[in-house]
């Protein structure tokens, strides 16, 4: 069977011209690690690359740059991420 080399591009959040963009959020994703099954769908779909993939495939959220779009919560099939209004827990 012929083998092919697959090249992918992975971006990382970084400080841009607008600075730390996390303060744009109205809603923030809240992760329940007890529900997470490490499928990495949120990591793949986050348009801002602000889902952090850990070595054990658990995930964290980079709130410095997350803009609160909610895509991660939509694609999580086990409900491990829910969107909450900013400031709700403070
Ligand atoms: S809310 Fe949007 S930007 Fe923030 S972690 Fe989820 S998918 Fe990424
Ligand atoms: S999509 Fe949900 S279950 Fe999958 S890694 Fe992200 S938080 Fe965990």
78 touches ligand 2 (CB under 6 Å): yes
User: Does the pLDDT of residue 81 top 70, yes or no?
Assistant: yes
48 touches ligand 1 (CB under 6 Å): yes
User: Does the pLDDT of residue 89 top 70, yes or no?
Assistant: no
Closest ligand to C-alpha of residue 72 is 1
* pLDDT digit string, tens, across residues 53-72: 999 999 999 999 999 999 99
Closest ligand to C-alpha of residue 34 is 2
Dump strand ranges (E) for 1-90: 27-31, 51-53, 59-61, 81-85
pLDDT class of 22 with cuts at 50, 70, 90: confident
Domains and CATH numbers, the chain: 21-85 (3.30.70.20)
Task: Pick the atom of ligand 2 nearest to 35's CA.
Answer: 3
């Amino acid at each position: 069977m012929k083998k092919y080399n697959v090249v992918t591009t992975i971006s990382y959040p970084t400080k841009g011209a607008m600075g730390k963009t996390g303060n744009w959020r109205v809603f923030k994703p809240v992760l329940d690690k007890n529900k997470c099954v490490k499928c990495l769908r949120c990591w793949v779909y986050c348009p801002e690359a602000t889902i952090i993939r850990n070595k054990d495939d658990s995930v964290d959220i980079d709130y410095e740059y997350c803009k609160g779009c909610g895509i991660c919560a939509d694609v999580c099939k086990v409900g491990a991420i829910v969107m909450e209004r900013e400031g709700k827990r403070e």
